[in-house]
Amino acid sequence: MRRVKDKMIHGLFFLNGIFVVAILLGIFSLLVFTAFPAFKEINILDFLTGSIWNPDAYLEPSYGIVPMLVSTFMVTLGALVVAIPIGIGAAAYLSDVASPRVREVTKPIIEILAGIPSVVIGFLGIVLVGPFIAKVFGLSNGLNAINGSILLAVMALPTIISMSEDALTSVPSNYEQASLALGATKWQTVIKVKIPAALSGIIAACMLGMGRAVGETMTVLMATGCAPAMPKGFLDSVRTMTSTIAIELGEVAYNSTHYYALFAVGLVLFIITFIINMTSDIILHKYEKVHR
Amino acid sequence: MKRFLVLSIVVALLLCVSNVQAGDMLQIKGSDTLINLVQRLSEVYMQKNPGKYISVTGGGSGTGIAAIINGKCDIANASRLMKPKEVEQASKGGVNVKRVVVAMDGLSVITNANNPVNLTVDQIGKIYRSEVSDWSEVGGKGGKITLYGRQSNSGTFVFFRDAILKGEYAGTMRRMNGNAQIVEAVKQDKTGIGYVGVGYVKKAKGLNIVKVAAREGAPYSSPLNSEDVKSGTYPIARPLNQYVNGTPMGAVADFIAFELSDEGQKIVEEEGFFLLPQEYVDFNKKSVGL
């Protein structure tokens, strides 16, 4: 009886695992098959190198994804520039400086930050961050790449802090003790011993945070202005791949070139996030091996 | 076992109740320009007719039209006309669309209160095609123009492009997620320009509602002047439409009749839109017999 139960549970978990893999494969093949017809009418080179995206044009539609790629890249890079120093700093504080009581209160609070709906953060971008940026840079408005970067940084922070803190705490304590015994100060120990030892974990954390930033939709849709022109700098309005899909997929005519093209954009996005997640997974794996 | 039986009966009953409600619920979907008006109309209608339910949601004209094509709503609100391709798509799926005009909308062009300009239609076109990039070129105080417009799923986006620009929007136009966001942005942006339904600016402060002339030398008129919109002196006016599947009957016909009644049209005016000119009253009679 017990053996049967064990086997059933074993089987159930196996099914669950397979189910998730099947979903992933299903989504991937859906993307590929729906994206593919787009290239019957759009030259794939034009798609990947064109600098104008204007599918419902007054005259000639054009499908170039470069401005979107650049936009996505810009807000993600900006978000990482803001989030990584703050994230690692906060993680180091939590793991090495804060008293256990402070840590117990602070860590859950940081994790709650991850649960704030993106619409709310986007709204803050419009009414709070936007006007602030406009004032600081002397612009007429603050709906631009910097705004998106700051908001995405806020959204990526919980992931980065929480995972970096785990990585720092799991550095074997003899590293720390050896460093202190050699006369290093606490600060030197954190900067020169613990962070390097936990580096692969921290990098993986940042990569996951990056994956979150690349795929985020509503926040950037609301806060970056969504102008489709090629951005010339961080003070220009940008329109990411995610916001383009979100804006246009809702009303596109079924099975039109535009429809397929949006799935092609989705495929590109999927490949990008897949590579990011894969890389972070590989790095994380490596780091687990080092400490075993 | 007994408990299970009771539970399943309760669940089944609940399902029945919710089904009945869903069946009676009139689904209206589409244009964000029309949503406030139609919501208001449906509230008054439901108060007068207890037991009738109407759900009104937005999402843009494109969303509403897609919904009526796919049979997902009873009435589609649309601030633009359906394209021939869409009508064809609908009839392929067995949906024979009929159009009703419920109100007239003056599309208002807005700038910041600190920038009180008047423009011609031609100038507005040039601004949005980015052939003009500084306010000093069109009689403003100077400063680089920031363009605000709707996203491409908006009927207002399409109408403004086809009727005023007759060309492509500048790539630098910020694509905002609804009328209210444009109003909010232009309020804050000293050199901004935007276009929104009149209903959204009637009570708004901190804005300059641009007086528009049809051409150089023609009189400038404001969309707030209902006579000008009705007579066509104000050049950026358009009919606001609803599409239904076939000649409306039952609950749909009843609600549309209410919209077109004197009482309904009074609400239209209160919401900042304009009464139907005779041409559209006749059109509705011909189209749906109401």
Q: What is the per-residue pLDDT for B228?
A: 85
Answer whether B143 touches A (CB < 8 Å).
yes
| B164 lies in the same domain as B213 | yes
**Cross-chain Cβ contact A250/B173 below 8 Å:** no
CA A290 to chain centre: 26
* Residue B19 pLDDT level (bands cut at 50, 70, 90): very low
Say if residue B117 is in the same domain as residue B87: no
Instruction: Kindly state whether residues B192 and B109 are assigned to the same domain.
Output: yes
Phi, psi of B275 (to 5 degrees): -65, 155
**What CATH number does residue B56 fall under?**
3.40.190.10
Tokens 């709650």: give the residue. Answer: A112
d(CA B221, nearest CA chain A) in Å: 28
Residues B98 and B110 in one domain: no
CB contact under 8 A, A247 and B171: no
List C-alpha distances in Å: B186 to A114, B68, B177, B181, B192. Answer: 32, 33, 14, 9, 5
The closest CB to that of A140, out of B66, B151, B191, belongs to B191
Q: What gap in Å lies between CA A151 and CA A220, rounded to an integer?
A: 8
Lookup result for tokens 């359906």: B82
A226 contacts B176? CB cut-off 8 A: yes
pLDDT number for residue B17: 46
**Is residue B4 assigned to a domain?**
no
Note whether B63 contacts A251, CB cutoff 8 Å.
yes
State the Cα–Cα distance between residues A92 and A140, nearest whole angstrom.
Answer: 39
**A258 touches B: beta carbon within 8 Å:** no
* Interface with chain A: mutation pick from B152, B159, B182, highest number of A CBs within 10 Å: B152
CA distance A230 to chain B (A): 8
- Provide the residue ranges of all domains of chain A, joining segments of one domain with +: 36-290
Nearest residue to B288 (alpha-carbon basis) of B264, B268, B265, B260: B260
Scored b (16 or more CB within 10 A) or e, B133-164 reads: eebeebebeebebbbbbbbbbbbbbbbbbebb
User: Which residues of chain B neighbour A143 with C-beta distances below 8 Å?
Assistant: 174, 185
Query: pLDDT-derived band of residue B21, with 50, 70 and 90 as boundaries?
Result: very low
B85 and B112 assigned to the same domain: no
Rounded to a whole number of angstroms, the CA Rg of chain A reads: 23
Phi, psi dihedral angles at B215 (to 5 degrees): -155, 170
pLDDT of residue A243: 93
Record: contact A140-B144, CB cut-off 8 A? yes
Note whether B209 and B115 are same-domain residues: yes
Chain centroid to Cα B234, Å, comes to 18
B114 in the same domain as B37: no
pLDDT of A287 reads 66
SS3 of residue B230 by DSSP: helix
- The verdict on B260 and B276 lying in the same domain is yes
Residue after which a domain boundary falls, among B231, B260, B276:
B231
Q: Do B166 and A56 touch (CB under 8 A)?
A: no
Which tokens go with B138? 């069109």
Instruction: Mark whether B75 and B153 lie in a shared domain.
Output: no
Q: Identify the domain containing residue B32 by its residue range.
A: 13-104+240-288
Distance CA A193, CA A196 (A): 6
Indicate if B123 and B205 belong to the same structural domain.
Answer: yes
- Quick check: A251 contacting B, CB < 8 Å? yes
User: Does one domain contain both B118 and B70?
Assistant: no
Q: Give the tens place of pLDDT for each residue, B110-145.
A: 999 999 999 999 999 999 999 999 999 998 888 899
Which of B190, B213, B231 is the last residue in one of the domains?
A: B231
Q: Are strands A62-63 and A53-54 parallel, antiparallel or unpaired?
A: antiparallel
Q: Verify that B94 and B147 share a domain, yes or no.
A: no
CA angle B236–B238–B239, rounded 5-degree value: 165
Last residue of a domain, one of B231, B251, B279: B231
Helices (H) and strands (E) counted in chain B, each on its own, are 11, 11
CB contact under 8 A, A140 and B181: no
CB contact under 8 A, B184 and A126: yes
Is residue B263 scored above 90 in pLDDT? Answer: yes
Contacts of B41 (CB under 8 A, 6+ apart): B255, B258, B259, B264, B267, B268
Q: Which of residues 183-222 of B touch A (CB under 8 A)?
A: 184-185, 188-192
- What Å distances lie between residue B6 and A267, B2, B13, B17, B163, CA to CA? 49, 6, 11, 17, 63
B281 assigned to some structural domain: yes
Q: What is the pLDDT of residues B178-235, one digit of tens each?
A: 888 899 889 988 999 999 988 788 777 889 999 999 988 889 999 888 888 877 788 8
Based on C-alpha coordinates, what's the Rg of chain B? Answer: 22
Q: Round to whole Å and give the CA distance between A153 and A286.
A: 26
Nearest Cα residue to B102 out of B226, B281, B263: B281
- The number of distinct structural domains making up chain B is 2
pLDDT value at B22 more than 50:
no
Q: What is the CATH number of domain A36-290?
A: 1.10.3720.10
Average pLDDT over chain B, rounded to whole?
A: 87
CA pair distance A225, B188, nearest whole angstrom: 14
A117 burial (CB, 10 Å; 0-12 / 13-18 / 19+) is exposed
Residue B7 lies in a domain: no
Q: Is the pLDDT of residue B11 over 60?
A: no
- Name residues of chain A where pLDDT drops below 70: 287-292
Cβ contacts of B161 on chain A, cutoff 8 Å = 58
Residue in B151, B156, B160, B193 to test binding to A, most A beta-carbons within 10 Å: B151
In a domain, B8, yes or no: no
